[in-house]
Amino acid sequence: MEFEAIRRRFQGRRAAIQAPGSEFAVLVPLVKRPDGLHLLYEVRSGALHHQPGEVCFPGGRLEGSETPLACAVRETREELGVTDEQIDIVGPLDFTLRGTSVVYPFLARLQAADLQGLPVNPDEVAQVFTVPLAWLRENPPEIYRHVYRPHPDDFPYADVGVPDTYPWAKLVLEVPIYHGLPYPLWGMTARITKHLIDLICEEERNG
């Protein structure tokens, strides 16, 4: 292959994560309540096979060639029964990893006068609830850190010239948990929540 052909291949290319697994997108909905801005969360249906009864943001797996934003909006429409006109996109938050999968969060304002009256899809959503941004700022999550150090027995150590006592890099898994809410808020959803609150606080400090 000639150099110019390689140049053309990489010209304008946007960097991404190497060999990602599944790709997911979620909407992080801000709603206006009498006491200020809240974040809206879903409680997943108990009939779901994956993470039943857990707290999450509306979202799901990307389908076909759709963009992460299109996926987040589509899933929000399907799960909460809202229209495109009720979803006002603010912008992307930083994407995060769940194992080998990528999760793309998008902050949005959700315009819904009667949150308890949302025509949610009962096959996916048991109910919705909101938490004030002010409460989330004043009650940061507790961070639990779990350290994993792999040591595969079937790795061909001799072939790469290292002993079977090779010090594999450890993996540190951080699991944030917000205490004091009616439903457990933890894991990926809590991580996205904390990221948003951190960005808001940083903007206010710099503003």
Domains annotated on the chain, with CATH:
18-206 (3.90.79.10)
Q: For residue range 118-146, what is the model confidence (pLDDT) as tens digits?
A: 899 999 999 999 999 999 999 999 999 99
The pTM of this model reads 0.87
Residue 204 pLDDT > 90: no
Residue 19 pLDDT > 70: no
Cβ neighbours of residue 193 under 8 Å, at least 6 residues apart?
Answer: 28, 39, 136, 141, 176, 178, 185
Beta partners for 148? Answer: 171
Pairwise CA distance, residues 42 & 37, whole Å: 17
Give residue 115's pLDDT band: very low, low, confident or very high (50, 70, 90).
confident
**Residue 16: C-alpha distances to residues 6, 94, 99, 159, 175 (Å):** 18, 13, 16, 31, 25
